[in-house]
A and B are shown apart, each in its own frame.
Chain A
C-alpha cells in the first residue's frame, strides 16, 4: 500500500514537473521546411524552339584580361637608412664604407661631399605609391568616413544653417492661416558622427555614409493649453519636490525594456570615452538618486565599485561617468513618474570594453 502510494506520488510528481518545466529543456521542433517551385508545362514544339541556336553572330571575346596589380617596381625600400646597415657605396661617390671590406685606413676615403645622401638609391626615385590599386580593401565591408565624433549611430554632416541637437527636426514656420499658431523653431540635426575610429590607413569606401530617406512630415503643431494652477497644490508639489527622496521599497510595475533602453541611451549620449586612455580600461559603477522630476539629487553621486586600475585612471573614469549623468540629466530624464519608486535609486555601470582601442 505504502509502496504503491510512493510510486504513484513519484510518477505524478514527475509528470507535474515535466508539465511545468519541460518547455525549458525541450525546444519545440519546427516542421521541416518544404521547398516548392513553380513549374509550367510546355509542349515538345515549344521546347525545340527554345533549344534552337541564336541567330546572333558570334563575336570573338577579346576583352583585356584583368591582371592582378602589383606593387610599384620603384617602391622605396622599407629599410630606413638610419636604422639599417649602410649600403655598399658606388665606386665614384664614396659616402658610406663597403660592408664587405671594412676600411682600415680612413685617409683612403674621400671626404663626404654635400651631394651624399644617406638614403638608399631606391629612395631617389620614389614610386607613384599613392596610386597603387592594392590599397583597396579586400572585402566589401563599407568603412565609415572619418568624423570628429564617434557615436553608436552614424550621422551625416548637418547643414550649415541647422542647429545641433539630439534629433533631426525640420524648421517650423508659423502658419497664420492655421487654427493654432505654432512657435517658430529652427531646424535641428545631430552632430556629424561615425560609428568607429577611421585611421588614415583605412581607405574609406565609396559606399554612401547614410541612406537617403524621405524626411518625415513634421508633426502638426498643437498649442497646449496652459494648466490651471492652484496655489495650494503648487506649494504642496514644490515642497514634495524639494525634499530629498525617501528610501522606500520599490512597488508597482517595473520599468519596461524600452524605458530602460531609453534611459541607457540618454546617458550614453553624454558619456565621452577616450578610447586610448588608461581610464578606458576601467569599469566603474556609480550610484545616484533622482528626485520626482527625474533630476539628479545633489551630492547623491558616489563611486560604488571600480575594476582594477590605477587610482588616477579610476578617478578619470568616475569623473567621465559623473559628467555624463549630470550633463544629460540636467533637464531630467524621461522616466515615468508612476514608477518613481523603481528609478529613485540607481546604480549605473559604465563599461567601456567595446569602446577602447584594441
Chain B
C-alpha cells in the first residue's frame, strides 16, 4: 500500500515539476520572433579637413561613403541639418547623447589630410551610438589624391562590414558593354567602371561587336566574345595593358559564353560545331578542349560553383530552356528548374548558396534566385526585358541589364538586393548591358 502511494506521489511530482521550477526560480525567459526590417539610421558628418588643402576632398569622401552605405538600402542617412553637434576634431570625444537624440544608431566620423607629395591620408572611426561604444578600431588609408574615390569605397566597405558582419562590395569594378546608337544600329564597346558607375574607361573600340565580358577571379583579365573575325570567338584581355588574344582557337568552330573557373586558370564556354552546341572546358593558357556535354540540344551559359566542383548551365534538352547542374568534369546533369516559363543565364553566388537566373514567363522577364538544388525560387524583378545577372563580390546584390520597350528602348544597368528590395538604376552616361562584377580590389 505504501509502495502504491509512493508511486502515485512520484507521478504527481513528476508532472508538476516543470511548472514548479518555472514559477520559483531562474531568469525570465522571453523569445522574440518578430522584429522589423528597415534601414538603419546613420550619421555621416563631413570628414574633418586637417589642413586647408584637404577641405574639398574631405567633403567629397564623406559624400561617397554616405552614398555607398545608403545605396545598399540597409542604411538611412540622417540629414546634416538635424545634427545637434558635429565633430570638430578627429580625436574629440563623441557626444553620444547628441546623436541619440536624433536617433542615429551609427556614426561615422573621419578626417582627411594632404601631404606635400600629393598623397592623402583618410582615417575614420565607427560608433555604435546606443551602446556608447566604438565599433572596432580606427583605421587609416593612404594613397594618391587621384584615388580618393577608392579610399572612400574602402572606408565604406569597412563601415559596412563592422555593422552588418558581412564583407562589403564598394571597392569593386564592373565590366560591361557600353552601347551607343539606335536600337538597330548599335556600336558596342567593352568598358569598365567603378561599381557605382563612376570612372568609366573603354577597353575596346567599336569596330567589332563585343558581348558577354567576364572578370577573372583576380580582376586583372576579362574573357569576352568578339565578332572581330566575323564569327563569335572568345578573347581574353588584360585589363592593365589592354592587350588581347583569342582563346584556344579551333578551326570551324564558334565559341562564346565563356566564364572563368574559381582558380582563374580553367575556363568553361560554349562551342558550336556542325550545328550542335555543347559545353567545353579548357585552360586559359592553352590546352585541349574537353567536351563536358554531348547532346543534340543546345547547352550553353555555363558557370562554375565557387568551389569549382560543379557547373550550372542552361539547356533545352527537355524541350524548353531549363537549368541543369553537373559535375565540373562532366557527366550526368541534374535539372534544377521546374517552374512555369523558361530559364537562362544561371550564375552561382559567391557565397555558394544561391543561383541567379533570368526567367521568362507570361510575357515578362524576371531576375530571380533559387537554391542550388532548385528549391525556394524567388523572383526579384519584373519588366519588359531583364536579363544577364551578375553577383556582387559579397553575394548580396545582383546587377543586370534592363531594356525598356519600344523602338527607342534603351538598355541600362540595374541592381537589386537579394531580398528583392532596393531596385536601383546604376548611373551610366551611355546605355549599357552585360555587366560582370569584379571581385573586391586589392
Contacts and interface: CB of A to CB of B under 8 A. Distances in A.
Contacts, number: 328
- Identify the interface centre among B22, B29, B321, B406: most chain A CB within 10 Å of its CB: B29
Interface in B366-424: 366, 368, 376, 378-385, 387-388, 396, 403, 405-406, 409, 416-421, 423
B190 interface: no
Interface string A198-227: 111111000000000000000000000000
A29 interface: no
16 contacts: A17-B8, A75-B360, A82-B225, A83-B345, A84-B301, A84-B344, A96-B231, A130-B384, A135-B362, A148-B39, A202-B379, A268-B36, A276-B417, A315-B165, A351-B33, A355-B35
Interface string A103-114: 110100111101
A259 B1 CA distance: 46
Interface in A49-92: 71-72, 75-86
Nearest to B5: A13
Contacts of A182: none
Given A76-B385, A78-B342, A135-B382, A271 B32 contact: yes
A163 interface: no
B130 interface: yes
B363 interface: yes
A102 B419 contact: no
A327 interface: yes
A80 B165 contact: no
B298 interface: yes
Contacts of A250: 24-26
Contact of A355 (B34, B184, B185, B396): B34
Contact of A255 (B28, B128, B253, B341): B28
A59 B356 CA distance: 56
Given A78-B342, A78-B344, A129-B384, A106 B131 contact: no
Contacts of B274: 100, 102
A134 to B, nearest CB: 4
A83 B300 contact: yes
Interface residues of B, number: 110
B405 A104 contact: no
Interface of A: 5-6, 9-10, 13, 16-17, 20-21, 71-72, 75-86, 94-97, 99-104, 106, 109-112, 114-118, 123-124, 126-130, 132, 134-135, 148-152, 191, 193, 197-203, 249-250, 254-255, 260, 263-264, 267-279, 287, 310, 312-313, 315-317, 319, 322-324, 326-327, 330, 342-343, 345-355, 357-358
Instruction: Determine chain A's interface SS by DSSP, over half rule.
Output: loop
B332 interface: no
Interface stretch (B108-116, B145-153, B208-216): B208-216
B317 interface: no
A148 B417 CA distance: 13
